[in-house]
Each structure stands twice: as C-alpha cells, then as structure tokens.
C-alpha cells in the first residue's frame, strides 16, 4: 500500500534566492574580515605609512546612506504596486550607486595627488591595503549597480507585468549589505588603523 503524505506548503521557508544572498553576504564578510585583520597585522611594521583619508570618503558615506533609503522606498513601492514611484526610487538608487563609486575613485586620485602612491615601487603597504579594501568594496557596489540597472530595465519594460517581489528583495538585501559594509570599513580605516 502506498501512503502519500500531503505536506502543507510552508510559507515561512526562505526563498532559495534570498538564502543564497545571505550565504554570499556571509562569504563577503569573511573576506573583508580577513583583509582588515591582515591590515592590522601589517600595520605593526615600522615603515607603515600613517595618513588621513580624504573628506570625499566621508561625503560618499552620505551618498550610500541616502541610496539605502531610496532602495528601501523602492522596495516598499514595488510591494505596494506603485509602479511609477518604484521606477523613480530604483532609478535614484542606481544613480546614487554610480555617484558613490565615482566618489571612491576621486578619493583615490586625491590620495595620489597628495603623494600617497597606491601601487608601484613608491607605494606603501598602508596605501595599497586601502586600495585593495576600498577598491573591492567599490567593485561590490558596482555589482549592486548592475543588479539595480537590471531592475531599472525591468521596471520600464512593457513586457513584464509580474509583481513577484523576490528579485527586488534580493537586490535590496545586497544593497543594504554593501551600505553597512562601507560603514564598517570607514570606521575601521578611521579609528582602528
């Protein structure tokens, strides 16, 4: 006799894409924990250069915090089926992400212009570490911008009428994560180094 068990659909289960995003954010955290730990170990050497970060890194923090707020509003608007409002805020979030990454590049150029070589034979380990740490974060932000641009394209596509919020939620999780990660990195670079 074959007894088939009918199991009710468990609505409390996490969507696999969200679960994968949480695993990815954990992995990224481990990578940055390793980099900042290596920075601390390396900073005990005598020739480790001490310098202040350009003010633009602080200003870029305001940009990424603002983008986190716009992402939050975009997600809420999507869930409320406020398509035009969602379009506006997903667009603003993508633009702010691009502005943030641009400001990071300007910050590195500022360091170079003040005689702090980031790479090459004149470079110091401190500046190179900052380039790697902040540069990797900027790459993660650009990855988020690509995801936002995909959401942007879908928001303005007339073919897609699906109101599945999972993709927007996954992008939102990632975007808030890179925001929090930047706050950690900035605090680390200012107060711990």
The one-character DSSP state at 190 is I
pLDDT digits (tens, 9 = 90+) for 11-42: 678 888 888 888 889 999 999 999 999 888 88
Whether 92 is in a domain gets the answer yes
Whether 130 is in a domain gets the answer yes
Q: Kindly give, in sequence order, each residue whose CB lies less than 8 Å from that of residue 60, ignoring residues fewer than 6 positions away.
A: 99, 100, 103, 104, 107, 182
The pLDDT of residue 111 is 87
Q: Is the dihedral of CA 36, 38, 44, 46 positive or negative?
A: negative
CA 142 to chain CA mean position, Å:
8
Mean pLDDT computed over 114-132: 82
Contact assessment for residue 127 and residue 49, using Cβ atoms and an 8 Å cutoff: yes
Within the chain, how many helices (H) and strands (E) appear?
5, 0
Whether 17 is in a domain gets the answer no
The CATH number of the domain holding residue 139 is: 1.20.120.80
Taken as a whole, the chain contains a residue count of 193
- CA distance readout (Å), 23 to 27, 96, 146, 176: 6, 26, 20, 15
Containing structural domain, residue 106: 51-192
**What total number of domains does the chain contain?**
1
Whether 1 is in a domain gets the answer no
- Judged against a pLDDT cut of 90, whether residue 4 lies above it is answered with no
Whether 25 is in a domain gets the answer no
Whether 60 is in a domain gets the answer yes
Q: Is the pTM of this model over 0.85?
A: no
Whether 42 is in a domain gets the answer no
Whether 7 is in a domain gets the answer no
The pLDDT of residue 6 is 45
Measure the CA angle with vertex 104, ends 171 and 73; round to 5°. Answer: 30
Residue whose structure tokens are 């997903």: 90
């Amino acid at each position: 006799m074959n007894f088939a068990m009918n199991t009710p659909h468990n609505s409390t289960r996490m969507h696999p894409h969200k679960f994968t995003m949480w695993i990815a954010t954990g992995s990224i955290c481990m990578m940055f924990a390793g980099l900042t730990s290596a920075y601390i170990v390396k900073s005990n050497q005598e020739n480790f250069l001490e310098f202040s970060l350009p003010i633009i890194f602080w200003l870029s923090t305001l940009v990424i915090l603002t983008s986190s707020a716009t992402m939050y509003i975009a997600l809420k608007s999507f869930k409320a089926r406020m398509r035009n409002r969602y379009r506006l805020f997903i667009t603003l979030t993508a633009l702010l992400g691009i502005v943030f990454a641009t400001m990071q590049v300007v910050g590195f150029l500022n360091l170079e212009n003040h005689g702090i070589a980031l790479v090459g034979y004149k470079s110091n380990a401190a500046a190179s570490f900052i380039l790697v740490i902040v540069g990797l974060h900027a790459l993660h932000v650009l990855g988020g911008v690509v995801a936002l641009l995909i959401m942007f394209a879908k928001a303005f596509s007339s073919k897609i009428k699906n109101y599945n919020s999972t993709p927007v939620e996954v992008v939102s999780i990632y975007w808030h994560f890179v925001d929090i990660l930047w706050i950690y990195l900035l605090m680390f670079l200012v107060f711990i180094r």
